Amino acid sequence: MIRYISICLVALSLGGCATITPPEDAARVAQEALPEIPDAWVMASERVGEVEVGWIEKLSDPVLMGLVQEAQANNNNLQAAAANVERSWALAGQAGAALSPVVSLNSSAGRGGSIEGASSDTYSVGLQASWEADVWGRIRAGEQAAVLSAQSAEADYVYSQYSLAAAVARAYFLAIESGLQADVAQQNLDALTEIDRIVGVQNEFGLATSQDVALSKSDLARTRASLTAAQGAQRDALRALEVLLGRYPAADLHVREGLPDVPPQPQPGIPSELLERRPDIVAAERTVAAAFNSLDQAKAARMPSISLTGSLGGSSPDLVNVLNPTNIAWQAATSLVAPLIDGGLRESQVQQASAEQKQAIAAYAQASLEAFQEVESGLDRNIVLRERAASLRIAADEADKALRVARIRYDEGETDLLDVLTIQQRVFSSDADLVSIERARLDEWVGLSLALGGDWQ
């Protein structure tokens, strides 16, 4: 018995000496795979401040805030991501359970004897325990890998929340823009309907040609088609938004009539902070750390395993005497299993884990580079769209002036209807472009806020 206890103590001490790769070491190796990161964003021409959270509030739209909150509560994809987090932590619990002893209670009752002889009863009850001494850290490495995988799933879930908020905002803007485009098309249709009426009257009195009548009706029909398309696009946008909210896609959601103002450009911080702030990058880094521990686990699996087992129980033909000390027996054993020939299985598992580690490092590096790209491109596009919007406003104002002049000249017989219709279409095209560019600016503002890793609330 003393010798057995000594073996147990040795196994415990060896298990305490086993080591696994710390997450910070894995993170350092992962970041070494990145190119040199600049101290500031290339496209950040203005003074750089800290990245702020709560970007939805900066749009000053309580309707949008309510829709985002509804989506966070009801979106099915987000609920699936939350369930994946629960699953991942359950797997981590399973992986860590092997570090604890397994104790079970066994009991039985039976009756037996010879065919011609007397029969007898047998009752037994006992405890059985087993425990694998994690001498080489295989179980601990597996548990740590599972914990890190669960942390990765948690970070992915957080980023899914951010992404859902951005998707709702963009779908909301698209639904509003589609409605505004339908309004522009309706205004165009109303104007062309009045022009068609006037041209018809003028044609009756010989003041307009049949060509003028045909041109007017052609533009009128084309504008009706544009209005129908815009109305259909709005219904599609509303359905997409309703699905994000977990509602039935009935296209009966009511949104505001105008787009919110575009807030000032978000402060981008500095590039090096992005890797720690973006949840999806944190998830990729945790995946790298998990891969390191999975490799440690695979390497340790090549080593011998030591298991300790024991049992304590009693057996008696009389139930009341089962636990009588004279009927109780114990047993303790130590087993060592060393792999000798497995057809290269364990070595292949090490190679697999090593390849998965390299894959995780490459995926982390790629995700980081794409995150940097999203920010740089977002900063660039925000500047480009702001300049485009200013130019389109000038174009719209000048088109309005040209239309007023053309109508006066047409009334005085100095120009034909084709010129008026051409300028009329340019005016409404400019109005439609202004609506589109404002929605695009809002989309890019949201996209940059998401790329910077700022929380929506």
Residue 239: both structure tokens together: 């359905």
Write phi, then psi, for 176 (nearest 5 degrees). Answer: -65, -45
Residue 373: both structure tokens together: 């790209």
Predicted confidence band at 52 (pLDDT cuts at 50, 70, 90)?
A: confident
User: What value does the mean pLDDT take over residues 202-213?
Assistant: 84
pLDDT higher than threshold 50 for residue 16: no
User: What value does the mean pLDDT take over residues 10-32?
Assistant: 63
pLDDT higher than threshold 90 for residue 286: yes
Predicted confidence band at 46 (pLDDT cuts at 50, 70, 90)?
A: low
Residue showing tokens 């970041």: 31
pLDDT at residue number 318: 83
Q: What distance in Å separates the CA atoms of residue 371 and residue 452, rounded to the nearest whole number?
A: 8
Residue showing tokens 């896609």: 249
DSSP codes, 236-302: HHHHHHHHHTT----S-----SSPPPPPPPPP---HHHHHHH-HHHHHHHHHHHHHHHHHHHHHHTT
The CA distances from residue 4 to 1, 74, 308, in Å, are: 5, 58, 9
pLDDT higher than threshold 80 for residue 115: no
Any idea which of 357-371, 392-406, 429-443 has the lowest mean pLDDT? Answer: 392-406
Give the 3-state secondary structure of residue 414: coil
Greater confidence (415 vs 104) lies with 104
DSSP H or E run through 131? strand 119-133
pLDDT one-digit tens code per residue, 329-341: 889 999 999 999 9
Predicted confidence band at 131 (pLDDT cuts at 50, 70, 90)?
A: very high
User: What value does the mean pLDDT take over residues 168-174?
Assistant: 96
pLDDT one-digit tens code per residue, 376-416: 999 999 999 999 999 999 988 888 898 888 888 877 887 77
Q: 181 exposed, middle or buried (CB, 10 Å; 0-12, 13-18, 19+)?
A: buried
pLDDT one-digit tens code per residue, 217-257: 998 999 899 999 999 999 999 999 999 999 999 999 999 88
Pair type for strands 119-133 and 328-337: unpaired
Q: Which residues pair with 332 in a beta bridge?
A: 310
The ranges assigned to domains in the chain are: 14-103+121-451
pLDDT higher than threshold 50 for residue 177: yes
pLDDT at residue number 13: 44
Its sign, for the CA torsion 182, 188, 194, 195, is: negative
Highest mean pLDDT among 40-54, 272-286, 314-328 belongs to 272-286
- How big is the chain, counted in residues? 457
Q: What is the mean pLDDT of the chain?
A: 88
The pTM score is 0.85
- The percentage of residues in the chain with a pLDDT greater than 70, rounded to a whole number, is 94
Any idea which of 92-106, 201-215, 220-234 has the lowest mean pLDDT? Answer: 201-215
pLDDT at residue number 82: 96
pLDDT at residue number 282: 94
Amino acid identity of 50? Answer: E
Q: Under a CB-based contact definition with an 8 Å cutoff, are residues 306 and 336 in contact? A: yes
- The percentage of residues in the chain with a pLDDT greater than 90, rounded to a whole number, is 56
pLDDT at residue number 7: 42
Domain 14-103+121-451 sits in CATH 1.20.1600.10: yes
Q: What distance in Å separates the CA atoms of residue 419 and residue 409, rounded to the nearest whole number?
A: 10
